[in-house]
Structure 1
């Protein structure tokens, strides 16, 4: 649900979702099918989000808090536990000053409000302090308390983070505690048994016997055995609404880029929670930006000696035992080559050694010069300059983030914390040429990517930098070395920052929106560094590794990105953390640009970095975009409230948010919501104008009801600002600015009107005239014939669905809604497989369906910039005919695909328009499809299943496609056949299990020929998703559990 008032009008209680830590992501999103990462990377949390409501006593306890904090105080609730998720007061504090140190003040706040939290006096007394960190330069200390149960600390829940100002005021609260309760049972399993159960789940084919190898950072350490690195186990309590389960917190590293944070029930051994830990993507001669860049592209010698943030310097002069002298290892970072996929001792990995600590090597770019020569390995000739560059960048970023507050007490990456808090013993391990020897053809698992694996404070994280090479029709970039691209390096390191610094618990970025922000922060910090040091004038990430100076590895240069909060899910594959992370980066980039324009590069850049970074520990776990926007407001209030131009700073920051759809009235159902409601209204009404309009049918002059109005350029899977009324009208408050306006409606396709200006205090009234789409089924158009099924997807007025046909011979004949002199067509090449997107087409017309003429041939209608096609490349394009042509029929030919090896071509839309047609009115809307409900029981889970299922039921489906259900129905999955109309991209599906025991269900989608169209994985045991275009069969795959009754429900969203 969205917003639900519970007590007084002055205090809104927003129900939001609080899920668990971040799933796998990487620097590069999947190049082909719209399938998710392997199911082992999906988040499992047996505490499915429900409707646990606050008790009457908790509601009553709000009033005393409101009396003290004042009107405008906002409380949000965690629906898993029925306890407060956030408490904030914009522009103010929650309490008056109190005496005592920050921990005392924080405890006092919880004690005074214990009824609000559902806690007893004994519960409060049992809280442990797990974090005490000062936000640099503010005097404000962030205190994190954790619940204990029978003396055992909670994990993945039970945290309370309270920000205390220098004078003893409570600034804000964020957390995920549970109400009073005890440990439900005693621990029965041993730590070794818990690790063994984890390994059996995640590596079922590997023979492994856990062997204890000491203790570290509160964990029992186990030898790596046949896996990538050591594993770690500690006793824990897993909080639920009914009490705490005895558990073990297991950190299991299967390979360097495959590791999981797992919570195992200490009685039954079942998985209670699981999330991936990996995020995909002296002196020395280094590159500040990347080789060849206009700025920072020449090699320079940088000192590796002491800095303010690294007083012992970057290099440990004592070196590493077994080496002849100092090397690229020090207090902050340890960097060496890692050609395989195992964590080897540092002195066994190839690395630079210098008796004088001078690491000056020339970079000869041997990987590129040899065009990817692997025998002998050309990249090995560059290991010294690559290691030196990565080592310097990791140290530089350490110092940058340290200055912004990511210090020892915040859980940063250092060997020795010098008594300043935190655990220590965890420098970042920089893996140069990661997987170079094992990750080439044919799998390419060690190419065209980078990753960061972040473990809890006290356990070293590591970041792998890959080699990059062109892969035809997959990723067509140059031969480059990722160790030399500053933006890729900082993007990955920033995953470590966000995974340790957001909220009071590590790795708290598991929902879609929080995971997207994890990606977005990485890009933002990289650009902030480049611009702050005068190293760039284009907001491009990954220019060096992709060879693309215009947009790098993303969909746009961030100065040109048109997306907003309502665009979540806009990309070719739908909701995806990299593309949706670009929305967050763009919003933050706009904040920075606004502050820089007002205060200059140095001061404005500093202010934006402070606000962005300070907000992280002030947020709840697994925040939504709105949660983090609000945390930034708290951070701004805390640091800059005493400025005389404070109101100006607020206006600038929240003006930028408003223009990106994160205005004051934006809402979301939580971090997993991919259909949030945008708002473009400024928090200060004086900056708003009123945008009103009427949408009319150009052929009749009549209003169009139910048209979607978007401030942006996309329509597929986009949340509108407004829908038109029965009179075709709409109205909304909008922050002053200039916006593109896209309007879509059944029977009219989609049209974008550029540069619609809204002025503060004024009303902008527009009439938008929409020509009817003569090739729309909503107007009566129909497919007469086609060379392959599904051509009606061309006629549904949306890019959300696509039709596939053969290159050269594929065609569809369409009878138009009305004979007319057609003057233009609008075509979309949106696709579920990037390189299958339409390149060239031919258009023929006929008045009788027998005699045809070719009126348009486009051999390069759509193209792309390397390394791959993106959403803006394949988005709608209009092709105007030289002269209007009378037509009753059109024939559309799929002449060629973008990829030269592809045997299919995909196109999403063919919209046909006439400037002279009259009297076209959409048919009465087709009633929504009746829901499809299917029930069954799945016998056993199959943990070997990944992004391409190898289970018994899946194999039976693909080998017996013509006779579903498969003979192995119910073995480890359940196949549901859907009506053909459900493959239009506008239907949703949900599968739920009926079991009190833990289980994990996943969804896999197939077309009519049983070829995969996509998959879905989320943070719950049950799954839900939008059905990909062309889906005919749904496989409900059981990953975990046995004998699970399931119910699958597919519904129409129209």
Structure 2
């Protein structure tokens, strides 16, 4: 018995452009979709030259070659392709290595390579640097990328790998002769959508959300059409000047959506890809088979089948599994398309697996499976028992988008008001960012990559069932609209859905532009799943709860320390899981007056329940209330300062309360302070604030309309003393110290008294930031972001990260009903445990300045 490995290489590229649909709106999940099969003229392959193979051999490397005759992957097992590569940055070093090894990639020069993306590897100093080929003003698409994996080493950078779809052709074959409109017409005609030039008007591409594209409005089509000039690499016909087009018609029973490449010289269609992802009622079809091997060496059982793939089944792969009943049996598994062998597998002993996934999809027809005993040189017959069994699965699942999952969100808040009072003039400019779970080839796809090890799986993934939920339900958070109850989940429990996992829903600033109008009669403006940007609101709240989960996880709010997750991945007893935070968006918004004004406006809350039970947080609409508080008409679901504050209540309650709730007035006051501090720190570390002219250290500037202090009497960054007060000038100082308990007109009150602890902690933050600023500058936004994402330990971060780490460490050291003195001692102890007492002097000075001895 021995091992041979049959390598099956397949690449399935999924491109999605369909907008996600709300569960209550007209966009429904389709059960099936009949359409044209994908098509590509590039069916040939170009072998590497002898010189290329020689260059690879000199590196001591191994290469897998792509259809362009360049390395699909290039590695040196057990070592580096190169060490000590010079370069001031990872990008420079990667470019230098490519220049030195350009012959392997059939390149005469690297001048045509432009930086496409720098992807730092999580929890590592490594980078994956990608470059894209350019040809004059045209960028390569559907090919033309090369990625170098490298990390810093002694005397330079160590290159570990390279992968590519680059072509050795470095000039265009001809020039564009068609205009973009003509190219789109050719693309549309190729799928049976005939139009003429008189049907086409150009529209503003920026407004159409299609930067870099020409946006077209075509008569009889409601959808915006798109087209752009590109360079299209081919195998033997050079690099073709072409147009990439998007042809959409979603106003029909069976939506039309194709990405089509058109030769810009002739109008010939070069490639076509369907953009419609289909949902199916059940799992992919699976068929069982069994048999018995002949009693001779190398014998094959009769072929099993046929397993029929139809043209409209959308099968992207065939998975075959076979397992012999004797564990030492050495079997060979083969898959046939008709009588043609298309894939085989033979590793060690049983079992064997095949995944057959051609790049253009599985061709329709009949497939057969054959199981044989390995024909060895010793003519050894098969072992008894000779029986085997297996399965064939026709994979009809939709391929994932390059970003895997994406959310369109306000990282901090929408644009702030431009007037200091009613009518406030809150702009309706959509400044949201695209947060993607995974980096993509197209920079425009994402503003921030949020994939991380704290979550382990994308935010919308059910880790127990191992499937994407397609909505605002995941392991860390469950979020829905809750219009009819101010505190608990209530109807309609609307959640937006997206079969493509692209949660980019419209935001129109509707509550503001409608001047807080609930409709006449009262409540008539609330249409389930549609009104007041509810899809965007639910999505935003869901993403922000996940952001707080991930940020705090790296600071210690994890499974062991009572965080909230549906699955704890086996790290705790089962009774401590099943508790993702429940977020109620626009809570109680449709309640009738006067109850709505008392219970469901101008506030937010968190109901922290013990570990193993989901805590519940509520976000409300804000509006002016006569004789009370005069807020702008805004939705609290977009104010991350407030959202983060409420989430942080679960953090401090559970960590200090050791899985339940901490208790006592001091603890309650510090709870309000800690919630402000954690929320503010997350925003500042991440570089999300300021968004305008607000004080970036204030909480709730969007919701309250107060850009200076937010929801508090004092902003945390106000110094303890300052200039002598002047008439009509607000004194931006915070003189509070430990002796000022009960200073507010209400007497002892947790929100007001908590500001004493906030001022104290800001003194600590300021002191540690100054102490470590020379080596770890607080102003280094890139460093701050890496620390916020948990990529670096606190000792490699600015002083503010060390401070917030001590704060969360102290939660675990405090008693469950701590006084502020207990909390002071816990922070001092945390510094001793973590940093060997390196910051005791700074800590004591800050405490003393605020009256803590």
- TM bin, normalised by shorter chain, reads 0.3 to 0.5
Work out which of the two has the higher radius of gyration on C-alpha atoms and give 1 or 2.
Answer: 2
**TM superposition score normalised by structure 1:** 0.34
**TM superposition score normalised by structure 2:** 0.42
